[in-house]
Amino acid sequence: MTSTGSDRQAILVLNAGSSSIKFCVFGLGGDRTLQRDVRGQVSGLHTAARFAMRRDDVVIAEHALADGPLPHAVALERALVEIEAQMGGARIVGVGHRVVHGGLEFMAPTRLNAEVLTRLERYVPLAPLHQPHNLAAIRVMLERLPGMPAIACFDTAFHRSIPEVAQLFALPPRFAQAGIRRYGFHGLSYEYIASRLHTVDERAAAGRTVVCHLGNGASMCAMAGGHSVATTMGFTAVEGLPMGTRCGSLDPGVLLFMMDELALSPREIEQLIYHESGLYGMSGISNDVRDLLASTAPAAATALDVFVYRAARELGSLAAALGGLDAVVFTAGIGENQPQIRARICHAAEWLGLELDEPANARHGPRISTSQSRVAAYVVPTDEESMIARHVQGMLTAPL
């Protein structure tokens, strides 16, 4: 934000996790366009809290917030002071909160108040590692800025178009009634990609497209006409693909064996499947694909082999859910930046009619399939924060 004056308006986007709180400020232009201003995070909330903030990829603040751990509420308070000091007099007119779980109930962004917050607390048991932190940030903001429009944007909402048959586990109905079903996550990323698809390829926007959100968390989504019809994550964000530290789909019998024969407690299993598995657990080296590609250790290669193999299998499964395939889109940290991984997944999808354009893939596309490829492939950067900001802007301008 370069101009001055208190008439300038801004939207604050918050993504509060277990060990960090990420934020992003968007300026609202006179023509109602959103301009990304500062972004940053408070990290190390359990160890030694640090604050970092950037503008246009230039670091404008980076320092310790405490010598040790810091409660989320205190960290957020301190971050707000620093953010406001950087806003050059612009006024925050709305806050967007990323909320991981909206159950079946919250199918769209929702204005927050005490009553909605109480309803959202019901989903804490469904996402115990994320939801409590999301809600803690909301509570702080509602107290600190009462009356300020605050909007919850859900990672599950985009997937509410998934047909019942794809949501149900093969369990007695009482379990589905108790909320045990596939919800799907990364919905804000998929919604953003869906909103961009028509600018990339009209056929992909109108047709059958699989979007591969391959980041530290990873999932894939089958879209028909831009609507989610199936996704790899299910009841929790641990199902589906192997991820940076999460194992992905696991035979439920493995969990029983771990409890009965290896005497692991539920909490130990939670730690294992969320934090000590995936690329990190398999390699014993790193959760970061860059480190694994640079390593000569056989376990690093095995971890990547399993990741690519599972992604290729899921792509086939999602194509089956769609009844065919018109396009594949790669996004998030790995999807946007790692041509080797994209190439390996695309080669494994040749049977589906995908022909990779190697030079285009090396320069990150955006189109990475050949002109004669029956299935088109693209790299499209995701932007969950701007998706949230757009929702806040939409709610601010919507008639009451």
Q: Site for ligand ADP (CB under 6 A): how many residues?
A: 13
Footprint (CB under 6 A) of ligand ADP, residues 240-279:
244
d(C-alpha 113, C-alpha 379), whole Å: 38
Cis ω on the peptide bond leading into residue 366 (within 30° of 0)?
yes
d(C-alpha 146, C-alpha 112), whole Å: 11
The one among 13, 14, 312, 332 contacting ligand ADP by CB under 6 A = 332
Rounded to 5°, angle at Cα 235 from 281 and 114: 115
Minimum gap (Å) between residue 338 Cβ and ligand ADP: 5
| Cβ-based nearer residue to ligand ADP, 122 or 290 | 290
- The tokens describing 231, both together, are 């996704």
d(C-alpha 343, C-alpha 354), whole Å: 11
Binding mask 154-193 for ligand ADP (x = CB under 6 A): ----------------------------------------
**Please, are residues 135 and 15 in contact by the beta-carbon 8 Å criterion?**
no
- The tokens describing 79, both together, are 């971050």
Confirm or reject binding of residue 289 to ligand ADP (CB under 6 A): yes
Q: Of 376, 13, 10, 352, nearest to 192 (Cα)? A: 13
The one among 216, 249, 317, 370 contacting ligand ADP by CB under 6 A = 216
- Taking CB under 6 A as the binding criterion, the range among 7-15, 163-171, 212-220, 265-273 that sits at the site for ligand ADP is 212-220
Is residue 357 part of the annotated active site? The answer reads no
3-class DSSP state for residue 336? Answer: helix
| Cβ-based nearer residue to ligand ADP, 282 or 332 | 332
Q: Which long-range contacts (CB under 8 A, 24 or more apart) does 264-271 make?
A: 270/129
Beta bridge partners of 227: 224
- Taking CB under 6 A as the binding criterion, the range among 65-73, 165-173, 194-202, 210-218 that sits at the site for ligand ADP is 210-218
- Taking CB under 6 A as the binding criterion, the range among 141-149, 211-219, 245-253, 363-371 that sits at the site for ligand ADP is 211-219
Minimum gap (Å) between residue 332 Cβ and ligand ADP: 4
Confirm or reject binding of residue 288 to ligand ADP (CB under 6 A): yes
- The tokens describing 190, both together, are 């998929």
Annotated catalytic residues are 155
Binding site for ligand ADP (CB under 6 A): 215-217, 244, 287-290, 332-334, 337-338
